[in-house]
Amino acid sequence: AQKVTQAQTEISVVEKEDVTLDCVYETRDTTYYLFWYKQPPSGELVFLIRRNSFDEQNEISGRYSWNFQKSTSSFNFTITASQVVDSAVYFCALSEASSGGSYIPTFGRGTSLIVHP
């Protein structure tokens, strides 16, 4: 069974601080996919990134960066120089390739990020 743990329920920072959101996963599959989604107060989930299990390269996109480490089963998300607009709930999710092609993700409980001006 697949499992995603986001231990941080809520993080509060001041604008321009760097912040890291943790995600730890469990799976028995050797092929799987990891995702991060952002859910702002409006409610719509926004896809941020997908990572394949066979690609451990870290990724940077503007102020966002992701650190994927299979050795620790973690897929952490860092926001550099946070801004008020980054305030949202962030979900980490996992899909297993053995799901018969459905790739239905298991979501973590989410981390609420509050960025104060």
Partner 1 sequence: GAVVSQHPSRVICKSGTSVKIECRSLDFQATTMFWYRQFPKQSLMLMATSNEGSKATYEQGVEKDKFLINHASLTLSTLTVTSAHPEDSSFYICSARLPLGIEQYFGPGTRLTVT
Interface with partner 1 includes 110 (CB under 8 A)?
yes
Instruction: Write down the least CB distance from residue 50 to partner 1, Å.
Output: 5
Selected binder of partner 1 within 68, 108, 113, 115 (CB under 8 A): 108
Interface with partner 1 includes 103 (CB under 8 A)?
yes
Residues numbered 49-78 forming contacts with partner 1, rule: CB under 8 A = 50
Strands (E), the chain: 3-5, 10-14, 19-21, 24-26, 32-39, 46-52, 59-61, 64-69, 74-79, 88-96, 106-107, 111-116
Q: Which residues contact 52 (CB under 8 A, 6 or more apart)?
A: 31, 32, 33
Instruction: Write down the least CB distance from residue 106 to partner 1, Å.
Output: 9
For partner 1, the binding residues (CB under 8 A) are 33, 35, 37, 42-47, 50, 91, 95, 102-105, 107-110, 112
